[in-house]
């Protein structure tokens, strides 16, 4: 193993916090290892358009993973949901550490839950999936695109620019801001993004020593869950432009995958739930994807393309 192991990450507070969590676990497992964190700027950090209006994959990881491929860093730490399912063949997701909560949460300065917000309240989100679920629950509120890191979005609520915002619980918790959470949505009623709450550590596929080191902090339960969720995405071809919610829950050697897809106007919602063996997580994900497609999930994509054009006008 190298004397100093270089670790690539974005410079955001959340990315740094996730990297430190991973490194704390690695230092415990490998007391003699020395790490150097290298901050790398990505397109997603500088492009201020709403995420779902960008017709690109991997806007928060591409530059970081390029540094891994070139050998400029030994591995990279990401939010798993930022990694496209078609990761470069030169790279591998070598490790999924223990997963944090996959739930979405509501942040509101007045302590109001979603059903307590006044009609016409402005709620911010960066996600089409969250937007359509919000509008379905509260058709009388105004859901608008919001960008910026986690802290910036919370500040926009405090300043009154937004009445509330929906974020991932894991992100707020990791940067020490869980006290701003007003309401925690259940994963079955408000289905999160595939991979939400999970950290992925990426390295070169041929770097056997680094892979061996990283796998010492692998969490089998988290790996099974995200394997099912990502197999589902890959087959349905979801992504930011198509709001697909999916979350897998393991219990012993069994795993249950919940998936949800909405039409652009919110009038139609396809929901699928299926349980299988945790050892066959990928097979379960593909099976649920088949059920979604059979019920018309991909036909909803055209409606969403039109919806994105409308959101672009608002942004």
Nearest Cα neighbor of 130 from 270, 249, 245, 230 is 245
* Topology classification of domain 1-97+198-218: D-Maltodextrin-Binding Protein; domain 2 (3.40.190)
The residues that bridge with 261 in the sheet, in sequence order, are 244, 270
pLDDT tens, residue by residue, 242-295: 778 999 999 999 999 999 998 877 788 899 999 999 999 999 999 999 999 899
d(CA 89, CA 74): 16
Query: For position 54, what pLDDT does the model report?
Result: 46
User: Domain boundaries in the chain?
Assistant: 1-97+198-218, 104-185, 220-315
May I ask the CATH architecture of the domain 220-315? 2-Layer Sandwich (3.30)
Task: Confirm whether 1-97+198-218 and 104-185 share one CATH topology.
Answer: yes
pLDDT tens, residue by residue, 172-205: 999 999 999 999 999 988 999 999 999 999 999 9
Q: Which CATH number fits domain 104-185: 2.40.50.140, 3.40.640.10, 3.40.190.10, 3.30.930.10?
A: 3.40.190.10
Residues of the chain with pLDDT > 90, as a percent, come to: 70
Query: For position 240, what pLDDT does the model report?
Result: 46
Q: Is 82 annotated as catalytic? A: yes
Query: For position 48, what pLDDT does the model report?
Result: 52
Continuous segment of H or E residues that includes residue 20: helix 13-29
Catalytic residue among 45, 47, 82, 163: 82
Inter-CA distances, 296 with 173, 268, 271, 299, Å: 36, 10, 11, 5
d(CA 282, CA 250): 13
Q: Pick 308 or 296 by higher pLDDT.
A: 296
Identify the sign of the CA torsion 232, 206, 97, 11.
negative
pLDDT tens, residue by residue, 143-173: 999 988 899 999 999 999 999 999 999 999 9
DSSP letters of 115-171?
A: GGSPTT-EEEES-HHHHHHHHHH-TTSEEEE--S-HHHHHHHHHTTS-SEEEEEHHH
Q: Pick 47 or 98 by higher pLDDT.
A: 98
pLDDT tens, residue by residue, 98-149: 999 999 999 999 999 999 999 999 999 988 889 889 998 999 999 999 988 8
Mean pLDDT, residues 37-49: 69
Q: How many CB atoms lie within 10 A of CB 234?
A: 17
Mean pLDDT, residues 218-230: 96
Average pLDDT of every residue of the chain: 89
Nearest Cα neighbor of 132 from 313, 292, 303 is 303
Query: For position 55, what pLDDT does the model report?
Result: 47
Query: For position 224, what pLDDT does the model report?
Result: 97
């Amino acid at each position: 193993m190298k004397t100093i192991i270089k670790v690539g990450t974005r410079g955001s507070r959340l990315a740094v916090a996730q990297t430190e969590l991973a490194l704390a676990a690695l230092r415990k497992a490998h007391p003699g290892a020395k790490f150097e964190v290298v901050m790398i700027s990505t397109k997603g950090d500088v492009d201020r358009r709403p995420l779902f209006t960008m017709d690109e994959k991997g806007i928060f990881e591409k530059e970081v993973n390029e540094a891994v491929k070139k050998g400029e860093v030994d591995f990279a730490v990401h939010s798993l949901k930022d990694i496209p399912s078609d990761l470069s063949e030169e790279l591998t997701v070598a490790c999924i550490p223990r997963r944090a909560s996959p739930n979405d949460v509501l942040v509101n300065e007045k302590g109001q839950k979603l059903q307590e917000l006044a009609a016409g309240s402005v709620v911010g989100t960066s996600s089409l999936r969250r937007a359509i679920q919000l509008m379905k629950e509260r058709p009388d509120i105004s859901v608008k695109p919001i960008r910026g890191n986690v802290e910036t979005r919370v500040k926009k609520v405090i300043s009154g620019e937004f009445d509330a915002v929906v974020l991932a619980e894991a992100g707020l918790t990791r940067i020490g801001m869980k006290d701003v959470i007003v309401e925690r949505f259940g994963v079955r009623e408000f289905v999160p993004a595939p991979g939400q709450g999970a950290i992925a550590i990426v390295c070169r596929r041929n770097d056997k020593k680094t892979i061996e080191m990283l796998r010492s902090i692998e969490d089998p339960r988290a790996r099974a869950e995200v394997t099912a969720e990502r197999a589902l995405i890959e087959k349905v071809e979801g992504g930011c432009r198509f709001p697909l919610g999916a979350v897998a829950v393991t219990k012993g050697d069994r795993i249950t995958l919940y998936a949800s897809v909405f039409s652009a106007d919110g009038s139609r919602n396809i929901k699928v739930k299926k349980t299988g063996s945790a050892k066959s997580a990928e097979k379960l994900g593909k099976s649920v994807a088949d059920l979604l497609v059979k019920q018309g999930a991909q036909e909803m994509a055209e409606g969403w393309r039109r919806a994105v054009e409308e959101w672009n006008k608002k942004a």
